[in-house]
Structure 1
């Protein structure tokens, strides 16, 4: 599933290519993904201008100049590709939604596994899926301080492991398995630790680790595995910088720099694989 860096990269690609463009054609090629696509979508968004692109967690929001917002989620295998429109060009395999602009750009929503979603809601309201989401992991110093206080409160009585807690979108939004594993390695915190046992300093290290890993991943265009590509169809390359995720049985690079030898271990937590070094991470 695309995580925050991948969704942010796609959002930026859409923003760079489609801001202030006017929708002149909307084509749906199936009626249902994870949930039905709104029946009124075509009539509401045709002739509207796309004025603002944002991301909330793993959702992409396109605000229109008619006070409506389109919500996209990529599910497990979704991608959104922007390219010049070619008249009568056939749709590609698994293309479920096509949007064409007056400026001759074509936005294709492609989702082989159909776990994604497309929805519509008034811009002045908050979508029901976004209301109870936790704070974003990225932001300026003021935001990071608020995030620290938020996590301090949420973790203080929580017996759940810190790895599982960080994947809870109600606690902190946008994080997924890959980047939580990498951030916990950078912070030196075991994914097995009970959340309530973390000290203030350790929580600060986790926040710093999350911010560092996500910033690096966005700079690298995300991690391309299986289906994920940028809005222009190119792949990300942060997977080349993974130090722990998917590295079971390999030597820990952090330990090797300290003339130690430790292999990466894997454990299943809440149905997800966690990768960690039991020397570096306590």
Structure 2
């Protein structure tokens, strides 16, 4: 499932053709994805201007001029593509790309002011869309209780010390708890723990002081580097232009079971264990 860097990559690709532009027409090609489409979905979106396109955790949120917000989740195989029959701006033309994916899986289409068409394609249909009143965001089930953004000012070693205090679960699982920090997923937690020299088995409540400072820094670094690389492509993910992410070529531990540790050729091999049904990759010599 796409994690924070992949969703941020998609946001950056969509922003030039959606932000500040009116949705001339919206349509849905089936009644549901993972969940049913909102009531009167096309009617409520048509004519609205996308004032801002944001990312919150692993969600995209389009702030609309009429006081509602459109929440979008990619699921496991969802992707947005941008096409155009006619484009009225040279700047916009740079962001128009060929369609990807089987058209029979095109489930939602937005005809944007300026000539661009934004299409959501999702073969597995684990993605979804929801509409909610922007001023009632705190009560939206998908967003309520989310922790701070890991790249934002609210995420700090002090926050992590408090959020992890007394927790007896392994640190790997605590970091996947979206109430602790929003948007982290399996891949980037494994990589950040390796960079920090922290075992994924270590009790979460013992992560404080210098360990906490180091972990916060490395979470920020690994996410920033992944965003710059266009995210990670392991199976389905592609950006709005069809490009695949490249961060998988920088993995230190994820998916490298049995291979030497990058920090020291004499270390390793990288081990894989299963924690709460998720694969965890780590170096037992470097991570304590």
- Alpha-carbon spacing, 1:91–1:244, altered in 2? closer, same or farther (3 Å): closer
* Residues 1-282 of structure 1 mapped to structure 2, 5 A cutoff: 1-85=1-85, 92-126=103-137, 127-140=140-153, 143-144=154-155, 147-256=156-265, 260-282=266-288
Q: Distance in 2 between matches of 1:10 and 1:122?
A: 23
Q: Over the residues paired in the alignment, what is the CA RMSD in angstroms?
A: 1.6
Secondary structure of the structure 2 residue equivalent to 1:183: helix
Secondary structure of the structure 2 residue equivalent to 1:114: coil
Does structure 1 conserve the Cα–Cα contact (< 8 Å) formed by 2:267 and 2:286?
Answer: no
Once the two structures are TM-superposed, the CA of residue 243 in structure 1 deviates from its matched residue by 1.0
Does structure 2 conserve the Cα–Cα contact (< 8 Å) formed by 1:85 and 1:100?
Answer: no
Once the two structures are TM-superposed, the CA of residue 196 in structure 1 deviates from its matched residue by 1.3
Q: TM (normalized to structure 2)?
A: 0.91
Q: Distance in 2 between matches of 1:189 and 1:173?
A: 20
Once the two structures are TM-superposed, the CA of residue 41 in structure 1 deviates from its matched residue by 1.4
Secondary structure of the structure 1 residue equivalent to 2:219: helix
Once the two structures are TM-superposed, the CA of residue 244 in structure 1 deviates from its matched residue by 0.5
Q: Distance in 2 between matches of 1:83 and 1:240?
A: 29
Q: Distance in 2 between matches of 1:270 and 1:200?
A: 27
Q: Distance in 1 between matches of 2:17 and 2:214?
A: 37
Does structure 1 conserve the Cα–Cα contact (< 8 Å) formed by 2:267 and 2:285?
Answer: no
Once the two structures are TM-superposed, the CA of residue 261 in structure 1 deviates from its matched residue by 3.2
Structure 2 gap ranges (5+):
87-98
- Alpha-carbon spacing, 1:131–1:85, altered in 2? closer, same or farther (3 Å): farther
- Alpha-carbon spacing, 1:279–1:91, altered in 2? closer, same or farther (3 Å): closer
